[in-house]
A and B are shown apart, each in its own frame.
Chain A
């Protein structure tokens, strides 16, 4: 495709030196949507533009529900966004839940509704705890939450 683009654009316009992915954000988004979590994290470190694009919540939404057998209801998006967004959902709940459940079962399997539900429940707990700590008012301290057990390395 790269070559085609080159030749066609060379034919049609004045000389364009290269194909810069950065000029085509939509394509970039499509590509990033297909990455897994860690790779997405790496991609976000490439440059300022990529970092901005990688923060796009729809990419993370795709990532979260990639393994789901049936697409989740639309109302889920509203809830997730209200509670902190898909990126956070992935980072705080889905990835640990997926990795822990996969350890014991098959490696890459399709998520069931129950597992999604569990992740969402845990995500709610996370939000609730962040949203108003008694006394300390340190709302953003994600580490001290009841989801800490998800942060621990498993059985190390």
Chain B
């Protein structure tokens, strides 16, 4: 929902309208430099680069104000953005190339975009489109979508020099993001009505309203999506607005000067003008086209980065900024996060050319991640799948053991352990002592977790001791872990192992596995993302992770309404991962996800043997997944040599997470104490 929209045709819930009006009033400060073109710094994720003088401003967030109620209104706005370039520039030879590359797709897209009377788009359609888009993309053989190959042909190198008309009265305000204004910039209704949720209750309230309000989901969803498309709003900030403003300084204009003033997107404008009166197409294909569009822009941008074509990068990111939105469909939001990550990357690669305001959310990482973890547990089957499967394996490993010790690397809020405690307490002979060593980065969180777990164990009459260890993964040493004699140790590594892969020599991983082995564990639990996000080439990483995170976003979104704050929070957590995968290199890039094949090899090299997965875990996971309304979750075994080695959770055929268990091989005692299930 974009601020300023006062249309009565909006189907949005009443409160949103009111708060949007409020939002508009609070819109962040304007900057209207007195030059011929206006400068707009994009709030949040939609960076826009502009040269100081010639670059047209991309209205982020838009002009929605203007007349959101009719698409026609915003269409015309958009048109007016685009038309002048047509008028002022010569024929674009690139048009042909452009058109050739994805002609019908684009024309259709434009037709629908302009016309789209329909805001109404059922969520399922959108998802299925996205999925289709995703899959098609994956196959790389669709006519409309653009594979990397096509893009590589250099069809898209136009100059960024396209001009927008001076924005006169069309924009109600221009947005700039600076400091604390960000949050308020162009904020959609919900974010305003719930001022930054630093405490849980607003979130929880909103979650409740949203969950119970699912009936209105379609209405709300339609709105935001429709609006987004209409106004091609970029950026409406989420409540954690990340403010990025990319400014390309003068030096970039050199690139432009050398090239003509051809506007690469003229075809859009042209087609748009002409196509306005054409008939409506399906909303489905509209969404699909937008999805294709976004993805193709992303891949084009990545190509451009590879070719170091600054002008093209500039252009694509601007385009993306305009098209993608944090308030749109899942693919739109996903593209928004990718755009942000790409912008970060280019600003690091060419700091003299691109400047960026670092998103504020980097500062608030800690508080947010705690909330996000709990929200993820509420809306998605992923955490429960990982936790319950691991617990089942641990329970089996601890059978007959009297004193048990769990070492949890990154315990966070300890959400995994209550059900294990309950299973242990209900054993015929409950253990006489349970110890947990929790490793984490936040002392406060660790202490709180310890207290809660202690309370829980007390309720079950389970003797319990907790040891917090505040340290980074690579700094942990055995003597910190409180390993005692005569206790069976289980080591739990959920989404941690991949963080040691930054070390190309494999040293960090080896050291870590050595540490684990030195605790003499009965069982080692490993849960990792099932993905190949550690390729050296950016293009491969981006395309792999796009597929992966679209599935993740779909799975989160399947149970939440579109504008849900909870969803935004959770997605931001994944956005951090995306940002790390795309924008960071070397030892900064921690999110190096690998497939289970590779992990199996490394674990075996590290002196571990796979302990296997039994039918019980499989059954339990299947039961668990049946609890979720969505039918798209699936659990599959990863088998080798006839034995099931790991369980993988997937969403609509896209594997997401894998859980596996390992025992040490070198110490005879420990591997025999847990016999591999047949």
What residues make up the interface of A, taking CB atoms closer than 8 Å to B?
73, 75-76, 78-79, 82-83, 96-97, 100-101, 104, 114-115, 117-118, 120-125, 127-129, 131-136, 138, 141, 143-146, 148-155
Contact = CB atoms under 8 A, between A and B. Distances in A.
B97 to A, nearest CB: 47
Interface of B: 198-201, 203-205, 207-208, 211-212, 214, 370-371, 374, 377-379, 381, 383-384, 388, 391, 413-415, 418-419, 421-423, 425-426, 428, 430, 448, 451-452, 455-456, 459-461, 559, 616, 619-620, 623-624, 626-629, 631
A132 B377 CA distance: 16
A146 B383 CA distance: 10
Nearest to B200: A136
20 contacts: A75-B426, A96-B627, A97-B627, A115-B623, A122-B627, A127-B459, A128-B452, A129-B374, A131-B452, A131-B455, A132-B448, A132-B452, A134-B370, A135-B200, A141-B204, A143-B211, A143-B212, A146-B377, A146-B415, A155-B629
A154 B461 contact: no
A137 to B, nearest CB: 9
A132 B205 CA distance: 17
A128 B200 contact: no
Contacts of B627: 96-97, 100, 118, 122, 149-150
B415 A125 contact: yes
B204 A144 contact: yes
A149 to B, nearest CB: 5
A144 B461 CA distance: 27
Given A73-B426, A124-B419, A136 B629 contact: no
B418 A125 contact: yes
Contact of B384 (A117, A129, A146): A146
Of residues B198, B623, B627, which shows the largest number of chain A Cβ atoms within 10 Å of its Cβ? Answer: B627
Given A75-B425, A149-B628, 16 more contacts: A79-B425, A79-B460, A82-B460, A114-B620, A122-B627, A124-B422, A127-B459, A128-B418, A132-B451, A144-B205, A146-B415, A148-B379, A149-B378, A149-B381, A149-B629, A155-B631
Contacts of A83: 422, 459-460
Contacts of B455: 131-132
Contacts of A100: 626-627
Of residues A83, A100, A117, which shows the largest number of chain B Cβ atoms within 10 Å of its Cβ? Answer: A117
A148 B211 contact: yes
A104 B451 CA distance: 40
A114 B392 CA distance: 11
Contacts of B426: 73, 75-76, 79, 120
A146 B378 CA distance: 4
Contacts of A131: 452, 455-456
Given A143-B208, A146-B377, A118 B425 contact: no
Contacts of B200: 133-136, 138
Contacts of B559: 149, 152
B424 to A, nearest CB: 10
A120 B422 contact: yes
Nearest to A154: B629
B122 to A, nearest CB: 13
Instruction: Across the A-B interface, give the 10 residue pairs with the lowest CB-CB distance, nearest first.
Output: A136-B200, A144-B204, A121-B419, A128-B418, A124-B418, A82-B459, A146-B377, A146-B378, A136-B201, A124-B422
A153 B559 CA distance: 11
B201 to A, nearest CB: 4
A114 B619 contact: yes
Contacts of B381: 149
Contacts of A143: 204, 208, 211-212
A118 B623 contact: yes
B204 A125 contact: no
Nearest to A155: B629
Nearest to A72: B426
B567 to A, nearest CB: 13
Contacts of A134: 200, 370-371, 374, 413, 448
Contacts of A153: 629
Contacts of B623: 97, 101, 114-115, 118
A112 to B, nearest CB: 9
Contacts of B430: 75
Contacts of A82: 459-461
B386 to A, nearest CB: 13
A9 to B, nearest CB: 47
A76 B423 CA distance: 10
Contacts of B448: 132, 134
Contacts of A151: 211
A121 B426 CA distance: 11
Contact of A138 (B204, B379, B428, B616): B204
A39 B168 CA distance: 67
Of residues B208, B379, B381, which shows the largest number of chain A Cβ atoms within 10 Å of its Cβ? Answer: B208
B199 A135 contact: yes
A129 B455 CA distance: 12
Given A75-B426, A101-B626, A127 B456 contact: yes
B465 to A, nearest CB: 18
Nearest to A81: B459
Contacts of B388: 118, 121
Contact of A145 (B378, B391, B422, B619): B378
A4 B413 CA distance: 62
Contacts of A149: 378-379, 381, 559, 627-629
B460 A144 contact: no
Nearest to A138: B201
A128 B620 contact: no
Contacts of B626: 100-101, 104
